[in-house]
């Protein structure tokens, strides 16, 4: 057998042949790779050129349509702006051109003489007054006056109902009669409508089209490309008098195979065939050398594996004599291999007091009865007389002819395992005591967090009562109501203590069918107190016909109260400003039926604020206990809310609200219909 170090001497051909073959293989592989690379680059460049031509064609179509529209709009000046004829012509023009959303006739001082809105977008200009766009209209009309022709304004965003909006652009056309200015015709274009109406649909199949800023920011989107594929981009400038728009066309890159065209595939096939032939030749030349090397490596690997094992291995023949031991077994029993190999029964590592038991076990094995597959525990003795427990796993030792020649045993020393088990038992006792202390701390933290609202309400009503008592002229008409509120909040505090105690101790909680409106009504006094301090308006919207929900009433009320309080604290004094109309906290309830479980009904609760929203860092840690973004917060509110909702088989989620704010939603199972 050839040793691995002499493998080079066993090579049947000169070394230069081997080097020449490697060089030829590298050359063919490099040429094939360059050919494939150039072919793929050519295909990609051609596809990019096609995309650029298509986006230029779309831009030219839009430019032509804008020119025709200008001519059509110019015909409106033939009618008096205050006449019904002008309105009729404007409405027909808006119905036939969806890209136009509004037509106006303004006098030279920009006063509105007549206007007409598109019938396709509803109340587009009722969200904000039209005067908000007057600066853009004035700039476009000033430019139109200078050039005595149509001029376009910069595009701007116009909000609509539901937190949405459109990207709009104004076209101003000066009107003169006998050299005297009569005013301006103003046409308002929707960028989305321009793409939808004027873009060639055959060029947009499977592609995305959008108006973008110079930095790539999208202004208006007409179509998108499904994600997951590499995209190609091409842009074109839509030059207009007074303004320039950038049109961007997206297209998924066409998947190219390994060989982009037939010629490359033929050359590649020939090259691969040559490589296969070379591989077969090299394979035949290396077979004997590989066999010799693998045999030497197998012997070295077996020796290294035997020396590295920490599990003791022993082999015994049918008479019980040791025929093989590894170093780990020798170290385990403290005896050298020379003293162990060939030794019979009783074994030198058997304790004296267990000789009879082990002799009987050996007789059972010689009788052919199989031992447990999972092994059995035993006791061995080291050379110094110390005993130690072992786990023995035995299997029949079968030779190449299928005949059993003995038994192969794996022996594991269990001394360390026994020590660890004893240590674990002691650790478990200490952990149980620590867990009880942790549960007490958790209960105290949750109680201090959840009792803030009822205690604050009690203090507020008590101060109000003292004020009534201190002012005799005001009378005591409000005292009974205040006392009832104090009693109600004290009762609520007691229920919170009981519910939190059951929640922390994982006790089974009492659940009942409760009307959603009752849940909101019970926390409304507490919300009113905090809302009045912050100048926030609370809106409650309960969908008609919402079924009752099955829940722990006290804990769900705490969830709603915590979410509502967080929403109010997200809108401190001055943010958002009172004049913006956004200082509103909305609580809504509606029935939902998920598609995945149509047979089960749910009721969804939503709490919406108009604060600054959540940062990206806060979103990742929002539900982590003791994480808070408030200076005086404990960080337990949202963690408790999510745990309560999950115990009701629901899920607490959050999402941003446009134009600003956050909404928290959760679902509770609806009570079964009777």
The H-or-E segment that residue 135 falls in is: helix 134-147
- Nearest Cα to Cα of residue 140 among 99, 186, 98, 180: 186
pLDDT of residue 5: 44
Q: CA-to-CA distance for 565 and 536, rounded, in angstroms?
A: 11
- List, for the chain, all residue ranges whose pLDDT scores fall below the cut of 70: 1-18, 20-21, 227-229, 255-265, 365-374, 429-453, 455-457, 459, 461, 463-464, 467-468, 470-479, 482, 484, 487-489, 491-509, 594-599, 631-635, 674
pLDDT at res. 391: 85
Q: In this predicted structure, what is the pLDDT of residue 6? A: 46
CB 522 within 8 A of CB 555: no
Please state, in angstroms and rounded to a whole number, the distance separating the CA atoms of residues 462 and 317. 93
Closest CA to 105 of 190, 170, 172: 172
HEC-encoded secondary structure of 322-336? EEEECHHHHHHHCCC
Do residues 270 and 277 make contact, with C-beta atoms less than 8 angstroms apart? no
DSSP label at 570? T
Question: Phi and psi at residue 305, in whole multiples of 5°?
Answer: -65, -40
> Which pLDDT belongs to residue 263?
65
pLDDT of residue 151: 93
How many DSSP H helices and E strands does the chain contain? 15, 22
Residue 148's nearest CA partner among 131, 173, 128 is: 173
Say whether the peptide bond before residue 576 is cis (omega within 30 degrees of 0): yes
What's the pLDDT at 4? 42
> Which pLDDT belongs to residue 608?
94
- Which H helix or E strand runs over 421? helix 415-450
């Amino acid at each position: 057998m050839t040793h691995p170090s002499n493998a080079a001497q066993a090579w049947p051909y000169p070394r230069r042949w081997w080097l020449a073959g490697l060089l030829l293989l590298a050359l063919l592989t490099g040429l094939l790779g360059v050919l494939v690379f150039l072919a793929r680059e050519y295909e990609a460049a051609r596809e990019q050129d096609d995309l650029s031509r298509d986006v230029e064609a779309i831009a030219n179509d839009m430019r032509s349509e804008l020119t025709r529209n200008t001519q059509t709009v110019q015909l409106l000046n033939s009618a008096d702006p205050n006449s019904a004829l002008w309105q009729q012509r404007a409405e027909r023009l808006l119905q036939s051109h969806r890209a136009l959303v509004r037509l106006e006739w303004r006098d030279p001082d920009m006063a509105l003489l007549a206007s007409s809105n598109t019938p396709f977008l509803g109340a587009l200009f009722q969200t904000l007054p039209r005067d908000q766009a007057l600066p853009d209209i004035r700039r476009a009309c000033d430019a139109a006056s200078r050039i005595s022709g149509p001029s376009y304004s910069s595009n701007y965003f116009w909000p609509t109902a539901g937190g949405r909006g459109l990207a709009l652009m104004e076209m101003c056309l000066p009107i003169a009669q006998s050299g005297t200015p009569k005013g301006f015709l103003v046409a308002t274009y929707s960028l989305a409508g321009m793409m939808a109406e004027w873009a060639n649909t055959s060029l947009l199949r499977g592609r995305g089209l959008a108006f973008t800023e110079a930095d790539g920011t999208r202004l208006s989107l007409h179509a998108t490309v499904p994600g997951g594929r590499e995209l190609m981009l091409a842009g074109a400038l839509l030059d207009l008098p007074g303004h320039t728009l950038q049109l961007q066309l997206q297209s998924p890159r066409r998947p190219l195979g390994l060989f982009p065209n037939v010629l490359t595939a033929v050359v590649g096939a020939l090259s691969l065939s040559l490589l296969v032939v070379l591989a077969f030749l090299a394979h035949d030349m290396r077979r004997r050398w590989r066999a010799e090397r693998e045999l030497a490596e197998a012997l070295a690997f077996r020796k290294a594996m035997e020396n590295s094992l920490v599990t003791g291995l022993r082999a015994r023949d049918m008479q019980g004599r040791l025929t093989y031991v590894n170093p780990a077994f020798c170290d385990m029993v403290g005896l050298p291999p020379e003293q162990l190999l060939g030794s019979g029964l009783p074994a030198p590592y058997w304790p004296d007091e267990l000789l009879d038991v082990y002799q009987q076990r050996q007789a059972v094995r010689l009788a052919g009865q199989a031992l447990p597959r999972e092994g059995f525990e035993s006791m061995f003795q080291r050379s110094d007389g110390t005993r130690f427990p072992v786990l023995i796993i035995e299997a029949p030792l079968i030779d190449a002819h299928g005949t059993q020649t003995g038994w192969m045993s794996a022996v594991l020393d269990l001394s360390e395992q026994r020590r660890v088990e004893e240590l674990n038992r002691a650790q478990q006792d200490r952990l149980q005591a620590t867990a009880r202390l942790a549960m007490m701390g958790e209960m105290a933290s949750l109680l201090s967090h959840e009792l803030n609202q009822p205690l604050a309400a009690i203090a507020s009503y008590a101060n109000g009562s003292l004020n009534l008592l201190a002012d005799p002229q005001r009378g005591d008409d409000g005292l009974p109501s205040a006392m009832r509120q104090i009693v109600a909040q004290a009762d609520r505090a007691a229920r919170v203590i009981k519910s939190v105690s059951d929640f922390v101790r994982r006790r089974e909680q009492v659940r009942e069918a409760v009307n959603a409106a009752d849940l909101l009504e019970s926390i409304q006094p507490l919300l009113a107190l905090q809302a009045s301090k912050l100048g926030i308006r609370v809106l409650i919207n309960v969908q008609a016909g919402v079924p009752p929900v099955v829940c722990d009433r006290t804990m769900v009320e705490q969830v709603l109260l915590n979410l509502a309080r967080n929403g109010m604290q997200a809108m401190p004094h001055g943010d958002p400003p009172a004049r913006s109309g956004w200082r509103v906290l909305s609580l809504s309830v509606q029935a939902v039926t998920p598609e995945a479980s149509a047979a089960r009904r749910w009721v969804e609760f939503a709490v919406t604020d108009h604060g600054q929203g959540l940062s990206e860092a806060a979103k990742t840690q929002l539900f982590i206990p003791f994480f808070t973004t408030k200076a005086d917060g404990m960080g337990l509110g949202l963690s408790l809310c999510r745990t309560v909702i999950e115990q009701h088989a629901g899920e607490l989620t959050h999402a941003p609200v446009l134009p600003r704010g956050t909404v928290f939603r959760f679902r509770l199972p609806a009570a079964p219909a009777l």
